Amino acid sequence: MNEGDEGARKRDITNRTFSFACRTVKLYQHLAKQKYAAEILGRQVLRSGTAIGANIEEAQAGQSRADFVSKCNIALKEARETHYWLRLLMDTKIVPTKKINNLLNEANEIVAILTSIVKKTRASS
């Protein structure tokens, strides 16, 4: 992979995680209007879903390769947690499957991308 491809990949994950954060904010706004459990779970999704992109932004300014990997690993953990909360919202029928499925799929793809980034970066160290 050349440097241009690497830069494009970094922009892609940065843009995707920012878009994902925006979508989780909208989901939270919807859940906050509902019953107590929905609002509490919504807070969890909001916190972890927005933390993914924030950690990716921090990783871009990493002081070293190890710092970059550490921040990406934190983003990966947040993405996995977000995936969990989204599954919980869907399986408890708080949010219908058809309304949350795209967000759940995007969370799954972000997990896969971040897993790949962490593995490839560690391997090239």
The domains located in the chain, with CATH, are 3-123 (1.20.1440.60)
Mean pLDDT of 66-93: 95
Maximum Cα–Cα distance for the chain, whole Å?
50
φ and ψ at residue 96, rounded to 5 degrees: -60, 145
Q: What is the pLDDT of residue 50?
A: 97
Assess whether pLDDT exceeds 80 at residue 26. yes
Convert the pLDDT of each residue in 99-125 to its tens digit.
999 999 999 999 999 999 999 988 886
Q: Which amino acid is at 98?
A: K
* Residue 64 burial by Cβ neighbours in a 10 Å radius (0-12, 13-18, 19+): exposed
Q: What is the pLDDT of residue 98?
A: 94
d(CA 24, CA 47): 9
Q: What is the pLDDT of residue 102?
A: 94
Whether the model clears a pTM of 0.75, i.e. scores above it, the answer is: yes
Assess whether pLDDT exceeds 60 at residue 46. yes
Q: What is the pLDDT of residue 39?
A: 86
Convert the pLDDT of each residue in 87-101 to its tens digit.
999 999 999 999 999
